[in-house]
Chain A
Amino acid sequence: MARKIRVLIAKPGLDGHDRGAKVVARALRDAGMEVIYTGLHQSPEQIVQTALQEDVDAIGLSSLSGAHDVLFPRVMELVKKNRMKVLVTAGGIIPEEDIPALKKCGIAAVFGPGTPIDDIVKFHKERLSQKG
């Protein structure tokens, strides 16, 4: 049986804008992946615990409130602390000048508004094709 790619779509922070996160979740599902959606208002600790228990291959973080500058690096810190091998990407409203700092802490890609969902799907497929 084929290995299944598992992705966690997570919404850290307090904003309730889950439209983008849900669209991405559905698109990944339609591409044959198993998508775990955390729901809103997850702390970095909860997100990383979930990723660990669900043994996911990737985490997609979405925030539209501007709290990414604090919360995303915190997630990365915990990923490293738990020595997890996981691809982490980010989406939402993230100003251009914040992107270098996010990449520096280990976030593989930042998908801003208007990114075609197909690009996001392709990115995950390519990067996770040799799972294991």
Chain B
Amino acid sequence: MNYTALAKSIFRGDRKAAARLISIVEDEEEGYEDAMKLVFSGTKGAGVLGVTGPPGVGKSTLVFELAKRYRKNGKSVGIVAVDPTSPLTGGAILGDRIRMTDLAGDQGVFIRSMGTRGGTGGLSLQASNTIRILDAMGCEEIIVETVGAGQTQVDIMGLADTVVVVTMPGTGDEVQSIKAGLLEIADIYVVNKMDLPGAMSTAADLKSMLNLVDDWKGWKPPVLLASANSGRGIDELTGSIGGHRSRMLDPVVSMERRSKQARKEIFDIITGQIMHSIASNIQADELDAIVREVVEKKTNPYDAARKISIAASRTGKPPKAL
């Protein structure tokens, strides 16, 4: 299919077309890449903010508050909310669509929920395509919200200019889970629900953890307190986001981050293409047979992988297998 007409309507700000193209990208429908090439050329350079953290810490409310601030400053806002897809059923509940108070539905806000799915292209790729579509449609500020725990974690650093890691006061689980994988990616920390007991000590824990890392390259992530529900601390947060963003104006810093991101995306695409060619060149039962050989120890995983790689580079296109 040719979706370039759809892509062109997106440049005119057509919301329905944007919504449709996002689905097409998510479903990895034949020909979506060509549409994305066009979209890439039409992006206007929206600011991209990543918000992540363990479940239940109030990320969505925080995102809502940030979006309200952007709207107040006259910016149009896109929000991409990513929730996990069930590996068992392939289904997903994408529940955290934020309630926008404006009764009629604010035309300056576009919210899109995504399941992590696990297609061959990988989620990061679909998320970054979604961001580009929203950018090309005219969103000036884009916020990506992901759950920063579990296996299907999105590489939010590869998508966003600034990453905010959110946590809340509690039993220590939250801080532990940050330690386990979010520590390196944060540009800003927020201890949300600051009214709950233990907020100060959670912030102190985070700060002491940060002190263990010494190579900040000029930006040491601040630890902020906020209460998204009552709106407290949000102005400080937007200030801090602005501070981090102005650092990105430095060409050296910016080039480093963006090169990393572009490199990652290119390799994600290559991985996706390899997976895709495996899927289109190897029959399911053929693949099953190779897998079985490894299980039955008739061969080892390395030789099996080689065999699949060779088969995948065959020419001709047997029916899809995966």
Contacts and interface: CB of A to CB of B under 8 A. Distances in A.
Given A50-B111, A54-B113, A39 B99 contact: yes
A39 B95 contact: yes
Report the contact-size class of chain A (Cβ under 8 Å from the partner): 20 to 34
Contacts of A90: none
Interface string A3-46: 11010000000000000000001101111111111110111011
A35 B20 contact: no
Contacts of B28: 1
B258 interface: no
B23 A35 contact: no
A26 B27 CA distance: 22
Contact of A1 (B27, B97, B99): B27
A115 interface: no
B23 A6 contact: yes
A55 B19 contact: yes
B243 to A, nearest CB: 31
A33 B85 CA distance: 10
A43 B27 CA distance: 30
A37 B29 CA distance: 25
Contacts, number: 92
A6 to B, nearest CB: 7
B94 A39 contact: no
Interface in B78-104: 85-86, 89-95, 97, 99-100, 103-104
A123 B16 CA distance: 26
Interface in A34-78: 34-39, 41-43, 45-46, 48-50, 52-55
A53 B19 contact: yes
A1 B276 CA distance: 10
B143 interface: no
Contact of A53 (B26, B104, B110): B110
Report the contact-size class of chain B (Cβ under 8 Å from the partner): 20 to 34
Main secondary structure of the interface of B (DSSP, over half): loop
A41 B111 CA distance: 18
B68 interface: no
B242 interface: no
A129 interface: no
Contact of A31 (B23, B85, B91, B115): B91
Most A C-beta atoms less than 10 A away, residue of B19, B86, B99, B113: B113
A3 B115 CA distance: 13
A116 B19 CA distance: 32
Nearest to A50: B97
B22 interface: yes
B112 interface: yes
Contact of A35 (B94, B99, B103, B112): B94
29 contacts: A1-B27, A3-B27, A4-B90, A26-B93, A28-B91, A29-B89, A29-B92, A29-B93, A30-B86, A30-B91, A33-B91, A34-B94, A34-B113, A34-B115, A35-B91, A35-B92, A36-B95, A39-B97, A39-B99, A41-B99, A45-B103, A45-B104, A45-B105, A46-B100, A49-B105, A52-B16, A52-B19, A53-B111, A55-B20
Interface of A: 1-4, 6, 25-26, 28-39, 41-43, 45-46, 48-50, 52-55, 82, 84
